[in-house]
Amino acid sequence: MAKSKKSGISHYELLYIISNKFTEEELKPIMEKVNKFVTGNGGTITYSEEWGNKKMAYPINHFNFGYYNLLEFDAEGSKLQEIDKVLRLSHDVLRHQIVVKKMRTEEEIKKEKEEEKNRVKKEKEKTKEEIKKEEKPKEEERTTTKVKVDLNDLDAKLDKILDTNDLL
């Protein structure tokens, strides 16, 4: 994060990870505390999303999993350092990152969601086509006849093997 203070209201994105030691019920008050802190410092929350419990790339404070949360808000640049400081000192939040983000209109958000749906549809169609191509005709059934082995012959062979001096 930059050391210089910015003035004026900008749009920011806050991604933070809450420790996995908390249950789902204990998670809600922590998230509300972060939201209240952002709004208490003059920020207005425009978007919030819970990504859930995910495995981290590497352990942080001996935790391999954490609850990921995304928060978009508008705030003054001068208040950003205070938000960063409190999140850094919080024991509940393992990591956080605040970045300046371009403000998106609702039309852009809808357009992105439609593009994502279309992309998913195309991927499903491709996989269906690949499955059809990979379907193989049924293999002809093999008819094998089992050769019946006489038990006396088998015993004779085993005795011959065991009678030899060189077993290795």
Per-residue pLDDT tens for 66-96? 999 999 999 888 888 899 999 999 888 999 9
State the amino acid at position 68 in one-letter form.
Answer: Y
CB atoms inside a 10 Å sphere around CB 15: 16
- Residue 1, pLDDT > 60, answer no
Name the pTM for this structure. 0.59
Please say whether the beta carbons of 12 and 100 come within 8 A: yes
Per-residue pLDDT tens for 9-47? 889 999 999 998 998 889 999 999 999 999 998 889 988
Please say whether the beta carbons of 68 and 77 come within 8 A: no
- Residue 2, pLDDT > 50, answer no
Q: Which CATH number fits domain 9-106: 3.30.70.60, 3.40.640.10, 3.40.50.620, 3.30.1330.30?
A: 3.30.70.60
- Residue 117, pLDDT > 50, answer yes
Higher pLDDT, residue 63 or 107: 63
